[in-house]
């Protein structure tokens, strides 16, 4: 496994792999790797000749009051885990390497960002789309792997790849959870002890909503109310949003039918957690 910190060296390695006819699978991350990242890496390993991961905490996708400076980092541990997963290259550029001067061009996402994290984190998906445009050009993968924990990100990236004609297949990977149901996240280490005990309520409330839907509930507002009540009563977290939309278009629904997402973001003292489930009903 090689760690590469410059764009030029990364491009050389990619050129070499392409000349040899090798396929490239890519996993973008912000590091502080956990089993969620590792499952993306495993899937990439099984489907490609070369696996590249990037570790880059992208300042462009953090708002001015967000947790850029407290975002957890541990490169030595990440390196060890990547080696275990038989990654070929870690692309680990500095902020100066990626953004040496103020950008003359950035990407603006127009669709599917007026809801969920797009609404509560203005500019976030523009930052994600801009960095991925750069990274996709540098790494030129045939396949790129994304977790559905960040379901809106998957929808936005699919739009980016489609609209900008990247010859890349986006592979969505299911959310990996702790045994108590909490979605694995690098940010979980920033939860206080009591908050960590409360955090599984998020997924439990999504499962309660699922049960209600299986029992016949079709009103999205009632589903939201049920989750809101459970999270408010059983956690100290502050609800950022709890919303239900069609998926992947993220349109409002009057009555649940077809494929839809129930998504939430809850702010604890030093960590904002997100989670979602995607369900499907097919009724005439």
Catalytic residues: 37
The answer to the question of residue 36 lying near ligand AMP (CB under 6 A) is yes
Length of the chain: 284
Indicate which single residue of 14, 25, 29, 226 sits in contact with ligand AMP (rule: CB under 6 A). Answer: 29
The answer to the question of residue 61 lying near ligand AMP (CB under 6 A) is no
Distance CA(2)–CA(8), nearest Å, equals 14
The structure tokens 């690098």 sit at 186
Whether 266 contacts 272, CB under 8 Å: yes
The answer to the question of residue 184 lying near ligand AMP (CB under 6 A) is yes
Q: Supply 61's token pair.
A: 């996708």
Residue closer to ligand AMP (CB basis): 24 or 40 = 40
Alpha helices in the chain (DSSP H): 7-19, 35-47, 75-84, 95-98, 116-120, 124-139, 151-163, 193-198, 201-214, 220-234
The answer to the question of residue 183 lying near ligand AMP (CB under 6 A) is yes
Using CB under 6 A, which of the segments 34-42, 87-95, 190-198, 212-220 binds ligand AMP?
34-42
Residue closer to ligand AMP (CB basis): 81 or 256 = 81
Strand-by-strand arrangement of the 258-267 sheet: 238-246, 258-267, 272-281
Phi, psi of 15 (to 5 degrees): -60, -45
Distance CA(149)–CA(116), nearest Å, equals 13
Distance CA(24)–CA(16), nearest Å, equals 11
Site string for ligand AMP, 232-251 (x = CB under 6 A): --------------------
The answer to the question of residue 48 lying near ligand AMP (CB under 6 A) is no
Please state the closest distance from residue 15 (CB atom) to ligand AMP, in A.
26
Using CB under 6 A, which of the segments 6-14, 117-125, 131-139, 178-186 binds ligand AMP?
178-186
- Examine residue 248 and say whether the peptide bond preceding it is cis (omega within 30 degrees of 0): yes
3-class secondary structure, 126: helix
Q: Supply 39's token pair.
A: 């499952």
Q: Supply 76's token pair.
A: 């030595």
Using CB under 6 A, which of the segments 112-120, 142-150, 161-169, 205-213 binds ligand AMP?
142-150
Residue closer to ligand AMP (CB basis): 130 or 186 = 186
The number of beta carbons lying within 10 Å of the beta carbon of residue 262 is: 24
The answer to the question of residue 54 lying near ligand AMP (CB under 6 A) is no
The answer to the question of residue 159 lying near ligand AMP (CB under 6 A) is no
The answer to the question of residue 176 lying near ligand AMP (CB under 6 A) is yes
Please state the closest distance from residue 183 (CB atom) to ligand AMP, in A.
5
Q: Which parts of 200-229 interact with ligand AMP (CB under 6 A)?
A: none
Indicate which single residue of 4, 13, 17, 40 sits in contact with ligand AMP (rule: CB under 6 A). Answer: 40
The answer to the question of residue 85 lying near ligand AMP (CB under 6 A) is no
Distance CA(174)–CA(52), nearest Å, equals 20
The answer to the question of residue 37 lying near ligand AMP (CB under 6 A) is yes
Q: Which residues bind ligand AMP (CB under 6 A)?
A: 29-30, 36-37, 39-40, 146-147, 149-150, 173, 175-176, 183-186
């Amino acid at each position: 496994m090689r760690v590469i910190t410059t764009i030029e060296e990364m491009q050389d390695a990619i050129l070499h792999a392409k000349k040899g006819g090798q396929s490239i699978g890519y996993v973008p991350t912000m590091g502080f790797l956990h089993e969620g990242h590792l499952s993306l890496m495993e899937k990439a390993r099984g489907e490609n000749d070369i696996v590249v991961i990037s570790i880059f905490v992208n300042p462009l996708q953090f708002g001015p009051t967000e947790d850029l400076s407290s975002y957890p980092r541990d490169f030595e541990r990440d390196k060890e885990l990547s080696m275990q997963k038989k990654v070929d290259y870690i692309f680990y550029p500095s902020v100066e390497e990626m953004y040496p001067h103020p950008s003359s061009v950035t990407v603006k996402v127009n669709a599917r960002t007026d809801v969920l994290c797009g609404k509560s984190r203005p500019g976030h998906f523009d930052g994600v789309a801009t960095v991925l445009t750069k990274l996709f050009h540098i790494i030129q993968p045939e396949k790129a792997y994304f977790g559905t924990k960040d379901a809106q990100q998957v929808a936005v990236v699919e739009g980016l790849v489609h609209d900008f004609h990247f010859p890349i297949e986006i592979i969505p990977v299911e959310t990996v959870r702790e045994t108590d149901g909490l979605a694995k996240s690098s940010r979980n280490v920033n939860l206080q002890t009591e908050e960590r005990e409360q955090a599984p309520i998020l997924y439990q409330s999504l499962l309660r909503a699922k049960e209600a839907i299986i029992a016949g509930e079709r009103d999205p507002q009632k589903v939201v109310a049920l989750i809101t009540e459970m999270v408010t009563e059983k956690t100290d977290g502050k609800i950022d949003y709890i919303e239900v939309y069609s998926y992947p278009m993220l349109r409002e629904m009057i009555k649940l039918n077809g494929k839809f997402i129930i998504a939430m973001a809850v702010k604890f003292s030093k960590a904002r957690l997100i989670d979602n489930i995607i369900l499907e009903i097919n009724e005439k």
